[in-house]
Amino acid sequence: MHTDLTQGSINTHLTKLAIPAIIGYFFHTMFNVTDTYFAGLISTEALAALSLSASVFFMILAVAIGMSEAATSLVGNALGEKNTQKAQHIALNSIVFAFILSVFLSLFGVLSIPYLVDALGDASYKIQTLEYSNLILYASFFFIGSFFFNALLNATGDTVSFRNILIFTALLNIVLDYLFVKHFNMQVKGIALATIISELITMLYLFYKLRKTKLYVGFSKFTLDKAVIRALVKQGFPPSINLFMMAFGMYIITYFVAPFGKEAVAGFGIGMRIEQIFLMPIVGLSIATLAIVSQNNGAKTYERIEISTNLALKYGWIISAFAVGSFLLFAPALSSLVSPDIAVINQSAFYLRVSSFAFFGFVMIFIYISMLQGINKPAVIFPLSVYRQVIAPILLFSLFAALEFGIVSLWLGLVAIVSSAGIFLWWYSRKKLRELLKFTPIIPNV
């Protein structure tokens, strides 16, 4: 069974797809917040180690996430064409591709992370960073497999399965973190082990759910198709680079924050975790947008693409206004839930209050990237990511450092960079959509 997103109310489809994804990713973020909380109980150094590890590890996962989104797009287009056999063929090749990808990414991560840690120049939390990161990296297939299995389920319109397992593992992670950190005193290794166990359960459950769909026909029907692999790479490379650059951008920010002290690094890490909670609805909307646009692009019902994109943007901006208000009023209280260190709380609250205004730009970036992926026009994502995550931050933050500006300049710079990228994507995406529609009138019947 799969949901036909080419017919029926777009508003209903968007809501039914987005809400489970939002709930699921909320619990996924709470999973990370739990890890951050227990790291804070160990020491400020452990908290800084997790903050750094998050940016480094996400560089590895970013490639897998982007490639998995390509699987959603390709399978979704095949389902929109009502070509079930093609969708099954792409799904099997995607799973094999995921395994091969995980091997390369694990090796790359283990070999590169010591150099990335050394580049920051602060050895006070190097050992804890490597203890946590290396253990996680050896289990990369559990994470990558989960992303690909969920991507295939998303293509069928199923975002509920991911929600359910994330709720379960978020609760399980609390128990495991307490057991490994407080009872067995395993320090950051215990946090890593809890994450690995939870992710293994997630992968196995999602594979079980995939086997129950018509997409999975068993590997006896598998034939390696280089054309499908090339299509996955071609379609997945731009979003992979976008997400990789986001992770690398986190590392670049950490590099420029590091001179302000480990409390600033820890505060930035906590701020990102809290920020992610409020970004989850936007992520959910982007997942729903990708699924809807992909099927309608395959079915050539192009008028529904603009309607679904505009609706997602509307909801995203409402959520952004709520996030800005929440951070301005309650940032210190939110930060104090994660860390008892006053200096860390102050740094985190300062980051949240300033950077919250970037949310409106994030909405345009997330939604329009999903739309471009869905219509198979993702090429612009790569150069935009290089600008947003590498070129602009390095140039701008280097200038601020030379002028000896305070840490507030970094957060204001982030808002400016994200907003400018969002505005450009809005212009570019509207242009591509007009080309697709060939200027045919749109009937806003949702």
Instruction: Tell me the chain's radius of gyration from C-alpha atoms.
Output: 21
Mean pLDDT, 10 residues at a time, the chain of 446 residues: 74 84 77 82 78 71 82 86 90 92 86 76 73 86 92 86 90 94 89 93 95 87 90 83 76 85 83 83 86 84 87 91 92 85 88 91 91 84 86 92 90 93 92 74 44
Q: What is the pLDDT of residue 120?
A: 63
Question: Per the domain annotation, does 443 fall within a domain?
Answer: no
Question: Per the domain annotation, does 264 fall within a domain?
Answer: yes
CA distance 200 to 147: 12
Is 306 in contact with 445 (CB distance < 8 Å)?
no
Nearest Cα to Cα of residue 352 among 333, 373, 367: 333
Q: What is the pLDDT of residue 105?
A: 84
Q: What is the pLDDT of residue 123?
A: 66
For residue 288, what are the domain limits? 10-437
Looking from the CA of 219 toward its CB, the CA atoms found within 13 Å total 5
One DSSP character per residue, 91-104 reads HHHHHHHHHHHHHH
CA distance 312 to 330: 26
Q: What is the pLDDT of residue 446?
A: 44
Q: What is the pLDDT of residue 441?
A: 44
- Angle at which helix 10-42 crosses helix 44-80, to 10 degrees, equals 160
Is 100 in contact with 224 (CB distance < 8 Å)?
no
Nearest Cα to Cα of residue 133 among 62, 56, 197: 56
Question: Per the domain annotation, does 444 fall within a domain?
Answer: no
Is 208 in contact with 186 (CB distance < 8 Å)?
no
How many separate domains does the chain show? 1
Question: Per the domain annotation, does 213 fall within a domain?
Answer: yes
**Residue partners of 279: CB distance under 8 A and separation at least 6:** 323, 359, 362
Nearest Cα to Cα of residue 150 among 80, 208, 111, 196: 208
Q: What is the pLDDT of residue 35?
A: 86
Question: Per the domain annotation, does 442 fall within a domain?
Answer: no
Q: What is the pLDDT of residue 122?
A: 62
**Residue partners of 401: CB distance under 8 A and separation at least 6:** 256, 259
Q: What is the pLDDT of residue 377?
A: 84
Is 30 in contact with 170 (CB distance < 8 Å)?
yes
By CB atoms closer than 10 A (0-12, 13-18, 19+), residue 444 is exposed
CA angle 319, 321, 327 (to 5 degrees): 100
